[in-house]
Amino acid sequence: MIVAYKDDLATLDPAIGYDWTNWPAEKMVFDGLLDYDSSTTITPRLADSLPEVSADATVYTFKLRKGVKFHNGREVVAEDAAYSITRVLDPATGSPGAGFYLGILGAQEFVDGKAASVEGIKVLDPYTVQFTLSAPDVTFLNKMALNFAFIVPREEVEKAGENFGHAPVGTGPYTLKEWVSGQYLVFERNPNYFYEGLPYLDKITIQVGVAPDVALLRLEKGEIQLMGDPPPGADWARIVADPAWEDRLEIQPQVSTIYIAINTTAAPFDSVQVRQALNHAIDKQRIVQLLNGRATVADQILPPLMPGYDDTYAGYEYNPDKATALLTEAGYAEGFESSIECIAVDPQPKLCESFQQDLAKIGIKLTINTLAAPNVIEDAGNGKNPLTWSGGLAWIQDYPDPDDFYAPILGCDSNVPGGWNWSRYCNEELHARSQELLGMVDRQLRLDAYKPFFKALMDDAVWVPVINGQYTIAHSGKLHGQPTLTHPEHLFVYETMWLSP
């Protein structure tokens, strides 16, 4: 089977990769202790069963499945699980996921270099590993199901060094056979995979450097079987209307909010009225239209499919007059000049032009800087941008818990250079509250408590939440086995795919 992507994959190292293109590919090569079923239920994978959890939700004991082998033939033992998490925490690895595991006892000391190992990670016997947290965290199992917690063999990581991301060795259903940078990746079936019968396909090739419009043509000609990128907007209306495409398109809601991050430390956006004015000024319905209806209007930080979403909160309505009034109140009746950064991949520049036009109406003259994705991430992460459009970059849930839309992107811990807190926002009060919420074991109480929490963030107008995304997948009529609503962090589930003749 052949899959085509526009851009090359950055890495297959599970400690490093952090986007929707490399996660499904990583999952071909690696497994974690935990996984999700086709909904959002956590299931054991390399673990023999779900872990034993202590009554205070701080101690998690995992029993490993016996007899699972890495691609190099060695059996997976508890030591590997301990090593994999420690590796993510190790600053030398430079993992963007390190923050997820700082709740483990002694993790901060290890990161700061005050301890040689992480106190809270213990190997009890060759098939048992135990994680102890410094405070209760009801999302810990979700974090253990992330790609960052995939299990890697120490000897292979040390042998490959920096190159591990291009020469990955794991336990997964496929092995990476060949990777020609900028051209293709070839994965071959792992004949010794521990899941009886899986995977189905013998060989999966990911071709890169194929622009979406070309990929669509090749899909129509039967040269590829799956488009990695969404079908281009220019062709969307045509294929949706075409009955021949009916069973070849999947439209899945994405648990995501795409937003304009407002740098709350950069004047004049340090004024809450100015930030609120932006929220009233953006015509979100227009953005949905520009995306051919492949999105819905976002009214708050959490997407509607995320537990904790407040369906009684309506958000800021589109009202340029109100926006102008707020600007006047803030002392910017004459407007001002500013800039927004967007990635240079269609359709993002088009959307940014729409923002430019919306803001021009309330007197804000916006310059658009379109750059490659890594540059936008770098600039935004270092607080260089007054405004950043997250389209094509963020934020898609890592796990189904509202904390995932606070701690990594709006929390104080993420407000560091290179972090994903592009609003440069740190509210000590909310930070303390979020720590309390992580320890609340009663799920319903906890989810209800998040509603005022996120409302406070909206009142502070740290973002303009613009849309909630959708995945649109175009594939060959012969391709089957992609679950209709998989856990959204793994867009493609290659191991269950099969081709009909």
Partner 1 sequence: MTVTQLDPSREERSETSAANLTAPYVERAPVEVGYFARVWRRLRRDRSAMVGGVLVALIVAAALLAEILAPYDPAEQFRDGLTPDGQPVPSTLMDGRARFLLGTDANGRDLLSRILHGARVSLLVGVLANALAVTIGTLIGSVAGYFGGRLETLLMRFTEIMMAFPTLLLAMTLVAILKPSVWIIIVVIGAVYWTWIARVVYGQVVALRDRDFVTAARALGAGRRFILFRHILPQLVPTIIVWGTLGIATNVMIEASLSYLGIGVQPPTPSWGGMIQQGQSFYRTAPWLVIFPGLSIMTTVFAFNLLGDGLRDALDPVQSGKL
* Contacting residues toward partner 1, per CB under 8 A: 212-213, 232-238, 240, 286, 289-293, 344, 346-347, 349-350, 353-354, 356-357, 360, 367-368, 370
Q: How far is the CB of 361 from partner 1 (least distance, A)?
A: 10
DSSP-derived 3-state class of residue 30: coil
Q: Count Cβ atoms below 10 Å from residue 175 Cβ, excluding itself.
A: 20
Q: How far is the CB of 345 from partner 1 (least distance, A)?
A: 11
486: left (phi over 0), alpha (psi -120 to 50) or beta: beta
The H-or-E segment that residue 370 falls in is strand 364-371
Instruction: Round to the nearest angstrom and report the end-to-end CA distance of the chain.
Output: 12
Q: How far is the CB of 241 from partner 1 (least distance, A)?
A: 8
Please, which residue, 53 or 345, has the CB nearer to partner 1? 345
Please, which residue, 205 or 292, has the CB nearer to partner 1? 292
Q: Please state at what angle helix 320-329 crosses helix 272-281, rounded to 10 degrees.
A: 170
Do 456 and 364 meet the contact criterion of CB atoms below 8 Å apart?
A: no
Helices within 362-427 (DSSP H only): 373-381
Q: How far is the CB of 471 from partner 1 (least distance, A)?
A: 17
Q: Which residues contact 220 (CB under 8 A, 6 or more apart)?
A: none
DSSP-derived 3-state class of residue 48: coil
Q: How far is the CB of 140 from partner 1 (least distance, A)?
A: 42
Q: Please state at what angle helix 233-241 crosses helix 212-220, rounded to 10 degrees.
A: 30
Q: How far is the CB of 251 from partner 1 (least distance, A)?
A: 13
Please, which residue, 167 or 371, has the CB nearer to partner 1? 371
Please, which residue, 10 or 344, has the CB nearer to partner 1? 344
Please, which residue, 75 or 235, has the CB nearer to partner 1? 235
The H-or-E segment that residue 338 falls in is strand 336-343
Do 173 and 498 meet the contact criterion of CB atoms below 8 Å apart?
A: no
Eight-class DSSP state of 62: E
Please, which residue, 75 or 379, has the CB nearer to partner 1? 379
Q: How far is the CB of 123 from partner 1 (least distance, A)?
A: 52
Please, which residue, 286 or 490, has the CB nearer to partner 1? 286
